[in-house]
Every structure is written in C-alpha cells, then in structure tokens.
Structure 1
C-alpha cells in the first residue's frame, strides 16, 4: 500500500450530515486504538465520509469486517461503506503520485 506499511487506515462512506469525531471514535474504538480521524467537511449532503486510522492492521481489518454494509448511523439514508482507504498516507501530507 502507498504509505509504506500494512493498511491501518479505513474509509467510511455514506455518513450522515453533521457526524462528529466523537461519535465515530466512540463506535470504532471498540475494534482497537483509534489513532486519527479525518472527516471530510463541506461534502455534498448525503455524501459525508471519513478516514479512520487504527494502531494495527488487524484492528482495521476487524472494523471493516464488522461494519461494511451493516453500520448505519441515525440520519443515514443507507448503510455505511467501510473499506480499506486506497491511499494510506496522512491525508493532504503526501502526494498521491511521485515523479521519478
């Protein structure tokens, strides 16, 4: 994965408008140590999403298997998509593509 190590970051899509760091941390901390949460602010209504980084790849994998297509927060139109984040670096701190 981009970022150099095993995947510890997950993507959570289809979040309800107004979701907070605290709500996500409370839910996902049952699967392990949540090191970082990034919520995309000012997304289109109904298209809120977040990145959640766990301390180990196993914790991230468990969170995905327990939540993808099953997790639905109050105010969500449909269950959340929970997958490995395609880009594992810190959001906004590393380029997606590197030039030779």
Structure 2
C-alpha cells in the first residue's frame, strides 16, 4: 500500500517534477504535488509525495529529512490525515433573511421588526 509523505521547507523554485525527481531516488513515486497559493500562483513551500512501497517511503524520510534541496533543509515526515474543518459549511455575505428578533437585519435584509406609523 502507498504511503503519503509531507515535505516542508521546499524552495519556492521547486515544482512537481523536481519534487518527483528528488524522491524517485528512493523508490517508485506514485505522485508528487507542490501546494500552490491560489491567488499568487506561487509555491506555499510544502508539498506531498506518495511512495508506492512503505519501505521506500521510510527510506525517503530517513535520508531526506534534514537533507538540502536547492539550499534549504527539507522537513520530511509521514503525512497525517487532514483534520475536518470546523464550523460546517461556509456562508458568505452580510446579514441574511429570516426572523432574528426585533430591529435586526443589516445589509442582507431580514426582519427589521415593527415599523412605526407613517
């Protein structure tokens, strides 16, 4: 079964292919992905590598953790499962509809409570 590795402190110049090449020296790499910032398109400085064999992944951790790649010491460890995000589904915007009590509402509308005589 494949083992996923976390690779931190990556130089910003490293792309998916360079990450794949670095870890291929330890065994079969199933995937290598540098995480990119959505807005800038630049590397966030970390990525994930999936090794085909657990023994190859263990060797990669042992030999690459602390080793330099383009002048930076890598942090390599077994990846932990992603923690569930708190707060449930995201809702954007201001205010909202519905009865939230008297004199509430804001930008999104909603119940403003009773209005005086006109």
1:31 and 2:26 correspond: yes
Determine which structure has more spread, i.e. the larger CA radius of gyration. 2
Shift of 1:96: 3.9
- For normalisation by structure 2, the TM-score amounts to 0.60
Cα pair distance change 1:50/1:13, threshold 3 Å:
same
Count of aligned pairs: 82
- For normalisation by structure 1, the TM-score amounts to 0.70
Give every structure 1 segment of 4 or more consecutive aligned residues whose post-TM-superposition deviation is greater than 3 Å: 43-47
Runs of 5+ unmatched residues, structure 1 = 88-94
1:56 and 2:48 correspond: no
C-alpha offsets along residues 16-37 of structure 1, whole Å, 9 cap, x if unaligned? 1131112111111011100011
> What pairs with 1:1-100 in structure 2 (closer than 5 Å)?
8-42=3-37, 47-69=44-66, 71-76=67-72, 79-87=73-81, 96-97=83-84
Runs of 5+ unmatched residues, structure 2 = 85-118
Whether contact under 8 Å (1:13, 1:47) holds in the other structure is no
Q: Distance in 1 between matches of 2:12 and 2:54?
A: 28
